[in-house]
Structure 1
């Protein structure tokens, strides 16, 4: 699936967002995380974080549960709706089991109770960034496929849709009322424009685009 899920080299920047109302905690975490080579942005409230435009690069959120306006669990719900799969690492000095369970069920990457070791937080951040990077790369790859598919002519798109269902060239020609030779020509251009190296590659691309394929029938 190399040409389907090829990772764009331009996606390299990783940012860690920190939301905590305690300035001493923000400054301490910012220094610690920046020292590890990550970009860091800190916020004193959930509302300030929500005003920031969505980031399409690998990132994660280090989030205090107890905040003055919108608490961490409420912010988690809004992040899930507006920021997709951004990993969240909760930190709190007042954690309890029900709160931890609620956060983890909602998709939190980690739930750390203060005080915690620096390495514990940094390991959680690295894991969260790796998870985010995988999602960003996959989204970028599918976005590139959509652009290639959109560049197909109407007839090329029709041919591709039938070919990936497993129809032979003669059957495709019969369905579209065109000659087999014309189908072969369109098929060749589809392979070239989509960047597919093989028929199996083209089928995987179609599946990534959400198109019906022979394997899904």
Structure 2
């Protein structure tokens, strides 16, 4: 049976390591090692149990054995990629690794590939690097979500104005393009810049590029 998630793993700051290995002794040893550096650990004997378990919202990674009963670790990685579920960094472990297998795993997006027996420090280093990578991904996703919220707060007229701003037009030119008074264009521009938390046109353009909303600019 899969381990249940720790009570405090639901907080956004939890750093959780998921382990999938059909060897109970390996799961226990890895769990003890990673808990010794104050990480939350959830260990499973199969990929099915791992998929069925709830996932914590904070940074996480998966330590995955290559050779499992039934579906192999590499096949499971491929199924995650095929289904667009590639966000969680994967660290492969194996007692039968070879160069071809390592290359295949890394090309599919694995963070690391450790051959048994591996040094404890090598595992710790790989896990910390994977968790740091996932933390950066989550920060980027939150930033993009915040940007999208700001963009959605703009009125249709404000969005039209900032498209002209991004194209390099001055207030007078924007007013002429839109058939409005220059002071009105200036007001819309100021309100849009405030809503987008942008102190400069360059900053505004970078945010619009990140959102993919510059296609209407010309």
Short-chain TM bin = 0.7 to 0.9
Higher relative contact order (CA 8 A, sep 6+): 1
Instruction: Return the alpha-carbon distance in structure 2 between the equivalents of residues 174 and 35 of structure 1.
Output: 66
Q: 1:56 to 1:83 in 2, by over 3 A?
A: farther
- State the partner residue of 2:197: 195
- State the partner residue of 1:13: 14
Instruction: Return the alpha-carbon distance in structure 2 between the equivalents of residues 54 and 162 of structure 1.
Output: 43
What is the TM-score normalised by the length of structure 2?
0.88
- State the partner residue of 1:6: none
The alpha-carbon deviation at position 54 of structure 1 amounts to 5.3
**Are 2:27 and 1:26 aligned?**
yes
The alpha-carbon deviation at position 168 of structure 1 amounts to 1.8
The secondary structure found in structure 2 opposite 1:145 is helix
Instruction: Return the alpha-carbon distance in structure 2 between the equivalents of residues 213 and 184 of structure 1.
Output: 23
- Contact 1:89–1:125 (Cα < 8 Å) also in 2: yes
Q: 1:116 to 1:195 in 2, by over 3 A?
A: same
Structure 2: any 5+ residue segments left out of the alignment?
1-10
Q: 1:95 to 1:172 in 2, by over 3 A?
A: same
Residues paired across the two proteins, number: 207
1:192-211, Cα deviation, whole Å (9 max, x unpaired): 11111222211111111112
**Are 2:63 and 1:62 aligned?**
yes
CA RMSD of aligned residues (A): 2.0
Matches within 5 A, 1:10-159: 11-53=12-54, 55-80=56-81, 81-159=83-161
The alpha-carbon deviation at position 98 of structure 1 amounts to 1.2
- Contact 1:61–1:89 (Cα < 8 Å) also in 2: yes
- Contact 2:19–2:44 (Cα < 8 Å) also in 1: yes
1:23-75, Cα deviation, whole Å (9 max, x unpaired): 11111111111111111111111111122345542111100001113211111
Q: 2:180 aligns with which of 163, 178, 189?
A: 178
